[in-house]
Structure 1
């Protein structure tokens, strides 16, 4: 019995420091938003949790504000190892990630937290194929955003002739359908587009209007949840593959729906609070749509679902199955409008 006890004790001692003996990994984490954005402290807390769980063998350095590359390039940066972990807007590259683009269709999700739970749980089936060049970590979204502009827009037809900065590929398709002109710009570039008069309207979340200084250049905002944007955190495949089994488990434990929701809820509150801030601005009008106007918007965006289905089918995915699975996930998480 003594020998058995001694053997177990020795084994326990061997297991305990195993992770501490792992080769240290120093992750370069790239975000294209500034440090004032709520994603920055969320990401910092996330990486600090990884460091603690790995007994200090996984450390991270955060590079915000496009220090390592432009917002549009962040998927390729993770693929190519320019950064080890990157924050990605799949909608910045039209047609490249057709499956996850379903979450960009207007009037799909009610809020960031529940919407993220539904999206992330659903997308885990499709991410390994659609984002095969990297290790998918999790997907999340911001709280529903709206259309902000220099002229008052109440019905879809008002967009005809306007120059609009879209939030992603799906709202870009909507602008084109309605006879508007798209002005492509990442979030950090949006203010400059409006300031120079290159754009006269923008699809943007509410709190970020102030964070990026966009609110100074518009006069009208529709008080309706017109759209959401999908985001992911992805990891360089080589970085992950070269980790020890214990370190991989730490990463896997931090690439979960639960972590995705933590990110989304913190950011969601920030964006939602922006509505009241916008309403308090002098010489700025935040207005609700009538039931008839809102119904017209809903009717107008219906073709976007078929466009999504066509793109998904070309990628080898059955759109009917994918859509049913998403709707089931939305229902389970009470995430719909």
Structure 2
């Protein structure tokens, strides 16, 4: 039996071939992720955290998925707008402090409370787990890849040298977030909240007398070139505040990835990656961040244990304000604070 085939019209054949070519091209098209953040390209955050993460996903995807990094707000906007830029698709991925947007990340901000985080590794792992269990509703539209804290806030001054609570009264101090502002207010200082890049100019112009900044942020904004006095807690103790950081992706962009590329993102997300960021990017480099400040002859002052306890007592109300803020939003503030402390204890022990 013969089977007779009728040739397809050339125009239909061409259309089918074009469609096949387009489908093949789409399957193999390189995914380029726009990564936006607020610090310079030379900053520790980009060189030792964002770039290595991007290199790893490029390698594991065989270059089917790569990053295009935009440092120093090159895509426009302000640091406080970064979270919304990820949510709205202006950027595919952002690295930011969510709490630059005041009042929106109340539960997550528990790890910004003073005297709580002993080191960045424990803080970062605890922050990831706490957020996944209790605060995912604060990140709608954004897919968290990893989260971290830094090594803790201390204070840097140009020409002031406070040592006690009494010395802090009336000093204008830069704060990074609302919780940090509440702590400064409790010790009698005048908080001035601003993003990190604004600090050097504000110090130079006398807008603030000092700045609450972690060691990691000092070389990033060349604060080591103008600050000459550094007020810190007793060595090894939890510092006077912290900030929470998010490396997060537009949810729709994440959802649109093919399964194998989504797996690459998933394999480079979560608690272990958060702990890596805290440990290798912050904890292990603190001496490096302090190096130029030591070389320029800065004074490093560590309060004694008795003074440390004075600061803790003076700021007890900051925790209560956080609990009240969570309660007002329908949460169980006291229970969440206990959970946050327990996670810190658990991971600090493992550190």
TM-score, normalisation: structure 2: 0.84
Match in the other structure for 2:246: 232
CA contact (8 A) 1:72 1:92 kept: yes
> Is 2:321 the partner of 1:312?
no
Q: Which runs of 4+ in 1 moved over 6 A?
A: none
Residue 22 of structure 1 and its aligned partner are, at CA, apart by 5.5
Within a 5 Å distance, the mapping from 1:102-117 to structure 2 comes to 102-117=110-125
Question: Residues of 1 paired with 2:187 and 2:344: CA distance?
Answer: 29
User: Offset at 1:200?
Assistant: 0.8
Residues paired across the two proteins, number: 318
Cα offset, 1:177, TM superposition: 3.1
- Distance in 2, matches of 1:108 and 1:258, equals 21
Q: Is 1:285 aligned to 2:299, yes or no?
A: yes
- In structure 1, runs of 5+ residues without a counterpart are 1-17
How far off its partner does 1:207 sit?
A: 4.0
- Is the 8 Å Cα contact of residues 103 and 230 (structure 1) preserved in structure 2? yes
Q: How does 1:5-84 map to 2 (within 5 A)?
A: 21=27, 23-41=29-47, 42-68=49-75, 69-84=77-92
Q: 2:277 aligns with which of 256, 263, 275?
A: 263
User: Hey, what's the Cα distance between the residues in 1 that align with 2:169 and 2:232?
Assistant: 20
1:109-188 to 2 correspondences below 5 Å: 109-149=117-157, 150-188=159-197
Distance 1:336 1:98, change over 3 A: farther
Contact 2:39–2:220, Cα closer than 8 Å, also in 1: no
Specify whether residues 316 and 25 from structure 1 end up closer, same or farther in structure 2 by C-alpha distance, changes over 3 A only. Answer: farther
**Residue aligned with 1:48, SS:** helix
| 8 Å contact from structure 1 (residues 79, 236) kept in 2 | yes
1:192-231 correspondence to structure 2 within 5 Å: 192-224=201-233, 225-231=239-245
Q: Structure 2: how far apart are the matches of 1:336 and 1:185?
A: 34
Describe the SS at the equivalent of 1:248: helix
SS in 1 for 2:348: coil
- Counterpart selection for 2:289 from 252, 257, 274: 274
SS at match of 1:265: helix
Instruction: Give CA deviations for 1:169-198 in whole Å, capped at 9, x if unaligned.
Output: 111112233443333321111100001111
The residue that corresponds to 2:4 in the other structure is none
Q: CA deviation at 1:111?
A: 1.1
Q: Distance in 2 between matches of 1:214 and 1:52?
A: 35
CA contact (8 A) 1:156 1:297 kept: yes
Deviations 1:85-134 (A, max 9, x none): 00120221221100111111111111112221222122212342011121
Q: Alpha-carbon deviations, 1:58-103, whole Å to 9, x = none?
A: 2210111111132111101101111000012022122110011111
SS at match of 1:143: coil
TM-score norm. by structure 1 comes to 0.87
Kindly tell me: are residues 210 and 244 of structure 1, through their superposed partners in 2, closer, same or farther at Cα, counting changes over 3 Å? closer
Deviation at 1:335, TM superposition (A): 5.8
TM-fit CA distance, 1:277: 4.0
**In structure 1, what is the equivalent of residue 16 of structure 2?**
none
Residues 202-227 of structure 1: per-residue CA shift (max 9 Å, x gap): 00112432331223333321132322
Whose Rg is larger? Answer: 2
Quote the residue 1:13 is aligned against: none
The runs of 5 or more residues in structure 2 that have no matched partner are 1-23, 234-238
Q: Does the Cα contact within 8 Å between 1:114 and 1:334 map onto a contact in 2?
A: yes
